[in-house]
Amino acid sequence: MRKIDVCPTPELLHLYHLENKIVVVVDVFRATSCMVTAFAHGVEKIIPVAQIEECRSLQQQGYLAAAERNAAKVDGFDLDNSPFSYMKPALAGRTLAMTTTNGTLAITKSKVAHRVVVGSFLNCGTVTGYLRNQPFDVLVVCAGWKGKYNLEDTLFAGAVVCNLKNDFAIEDDSALAALMIYDAAKFNMLKFIAHSSHVRRLARLNLTRDIEFCLRENLYDTLPVLENGALVEGLK
């Protein structure tokens, strides 16, 4: 039977074997929710980069560039880290460069996997439908917050485990715990994570609308996959 596991933060990624696995990277608030929204609105390609300097260099080469640190837009860039910023018709067909505090780092650290896909609640059903039909073990990599565990990415990991538990064996305790937390939270995720550190952080910045949006399930049918260092639509 195929196996599914959860890496609670990229800081623990060195303890996992990524080869021959499909890695699902998630950063619910808000990087991967933005990426999924962008592809759903016709963006052609997203180049995830770990460093601000690299993102600026791509901007100077003519790419639209998004840079976020500590939940705020970095000065001089075109786009922030709100999913609503990625719904603009002008983005269709464009290539974006993107760097965020946690999400893009998790993607670049996962690139040795057989395949890297980008997940969020917005495309959860599309991701799990895809995984069910692939002959590979799965590792959900939670982006966390600056190396630490976070609740919203764990919730998403639990949702993936929940959707796949009839087809995959749960490999380890972090996947089991994620499933338990999702089971406890699934009927009212917003209320459940109201006390989480990131919700408190975003609420201080008046980003409650973003929080609510990022928790909506199965809004988009898109599957961003990493190919040659850039994300593209995998359903094409």
Question: Which C-beta is closer to a copy of itself: that of 172 or that of 227?
Answer: 172
Contact with a copy of itself (CB under 8 A) among 4, 8, 55, 189: 8
Strand, helix or coil for residue 7:
strand
Q: For a copy of itself, give the closer residue by CB, 43 or 185.
A: 185
DSSP secondary structure letter of residue 79: B
Structure tokens at 46: 């997203």
Binding segment for a copy of itself (CB under 8 A), chosen from 25-33, 74-82, 113-121, 148-156, is 148-156
Q: What angle do CA 32, 124, 106 make, to 5 degrees?
A: 30
Report the residue number, 71 or 219, with the smaller CB distance to a copy of itself.
71
User: Binding of a copy of itself at residue 235 (CB under 8 A)?
Assistant: no
Query: 228 φ, ψ to 5°?
Result: 50, 40
Structural tokens at position 75: 């000065």
Token duo for residue 8: 């609670």
Give, as ranges, the residues between 22 and 51 that touch a copy of itself (CB under 8 A).
Answer: none
| Nearest residue (CB) to a copy of itself, 35 versus 142 | 142
196 counts as binding a copy of itself under rule CB under 8 A: yes
SS3 180: helix
For the chain, first and last CA: distance in Å? 28
**CA geometry: angle at 58 spanning 53 and 62, to 5°?**
140
Would you give the DSSP letter of residue 84?
G
CB 203, min distance to a copy of itself, A: 15
- Interacting residue with a copy of itself among 50, 181, 225, 232 (CB under 8 A): 181
Q: Which stretch binds a copy of itself (CB under 8 A): 61-69, 103-111, 149-157, 159-167?
A: 149-157
Residue range at the interface with a copy of itself (CB under 8 A); choices 24-32, 97-105, 175-183, 227-235: 175-183
Question: Which 3 state secondary structure label does DSSP give 100?
Answer: coil
Does 76 engage in binding with a copy of itself (CB under 8 A)? no
User: What element of type H or E holds 229?
Assistant: none
190 binds a copy of itself (CB under 8 A): no
Please state, in angstroms and rounded to a whole number, the distance separating the CA atoms of residues 65 and 29: 19
- Which residue, 70 or 134, has its beta carbon nearer to a copy of itself? 70
Asked whether position 184 contacts a copy of itself by CB under 8 A, the answer is yes
Which DSSP letter does residue 74 get?
P
Find the helix packing angle between 124-132 and 151-164, rounded to 10°: 40
**Least distance between a copy of itself and beta carbon 197 (Å):** 5
Give the residues lining the site for a copy of itself (CB under 8 A).
Answer: 8-9, 11-12, 15, 145-151, 154, 170, 172-174, 176-177, 180-181, 184-185, 195-198
